[in-house]
Chains A and B, each alone.
Chain A
Amino acid sequence: EADIYQTPRYLVIGTGKKITLECSQTMGHDKMYWYQQDPGMELHLIHYSYGVNSTEKGDLSSESTVSRIRTEHFPLTLESARPSHTSQYLCASRRGQLTLHFGNGTRLTVT
């Protein structure tokens, strides 16, 4: 059972809109991650955080930004959504080098 929550579960939005994908975890994990997953493709790391006020870009270039003001919260923002942003976004967290816990994901469609 996941203790990491992502909202919304599905989002369909028009081009040019600003969106924020929410991610919260109740496990007190220090490290949090955002992955982008397209069907039949690997998960690509787009952002990660080691703790409060720490954010880093991942291996896949992304126009999104993240913030980590509180340990439990790691939102991802797209200032101006485009059809190329259509994908599934997965949030994950872990303590140290331990197992990564995933949320259910947000499936984003930009029309």
Chain B
Amino acid sequence: AQSVSQHNHHVILSEAASLELGCNYSYGGTVNLFWYVQYPGQHLQLLLKYFSGDPLVKGIKGFEAEFIKSKFSFNLRKPSVQWSDTAEYFCAVNADTDKLIFGTGTRLQVFP
């Protein structure tokens, strides 16, 4: 069965620090990969996605993620975080089914 692991449950950073959130999935075939973000009090929204092509994908608000097939990973990065990036971040995978499987989420707190 597919599964998604997010190893960082809670990350605390100062503004301007660099961010990398880990995401690993278990599935040997073709996958579609997503990062969703949930700002406080708001609904989940798409940050970026990978379907095919360039494994380095860029999303909104300066976020990017790199798909490394050999490592089954899709880590999220941002060179310089802002206070407004404080949110919960979810990695998700969709493989050969219509079901999107989510990780446990990473809570990011950015302090000014």
Q: Mark B61-93, 1 if CB is under 8 A from A, else 0.
A: 000000000000000000000000000001010
Closest to B91 in A: A42
Q: Is B57 an interface residue (CB 8 A)?
A: no
A49 vs B105: C-alpha distance in the bound complex, in angstroms? 25
A101 vs B81: C-alpha distance in the bound complex, in angstroms? 25
Q: In the complex, which of the residues A2, A33, A50, A105 contacts B100, with contact meaning CB atoms closer than 8 Å?
A: A33
- Residues of A within 8 Å of B98, CB to CB, are 31, 48, 50, 97
CB <8 Å contact, B100 and A42: no
CB <8 Å contact, B101 and A105: no
Chain B interfacial residues counted at CB < 8 A: 25
Q: Is A45 an interface residue (CB 8 A)?
A: yes
Q: In the complex, which of the residues B49, B51, B104 contacts A41, with contact meaning CB atoms closer than 8 Å?
A: B104
Q: Write the nearest CB–CB distance from A37 to chain B, whole angstroms.
A: 9
Closest to B5 in A: A42
A interface residues with partner B (beta carbon < 8 Å): 2, 31, 33, 35, 40-43, 45, 48, 50, 58-59, 90, 92, 97, 99-100, 102-105
In order of increasing CB-CB distance, the 5 nearest A-B pairs are A102-B44, A43-B102, A42-B104, A104-B43, A102-B43
Task: List 10 A–B pairs whose Cβ atoms lie within 8 Å, in order of A's numbering.
Answer: A31-B98, A40-B104, A42-B4, A45-B100, A59-B1, A59-B99, A99-B49, A100-B36, A102-B44, A102-B45
B interface residues with partner A (beta carbon < 8 Å): 1, 4, 9, 32, 34, 36, 42-46, 49, 51, 90, 92, 94, 98-105, 107
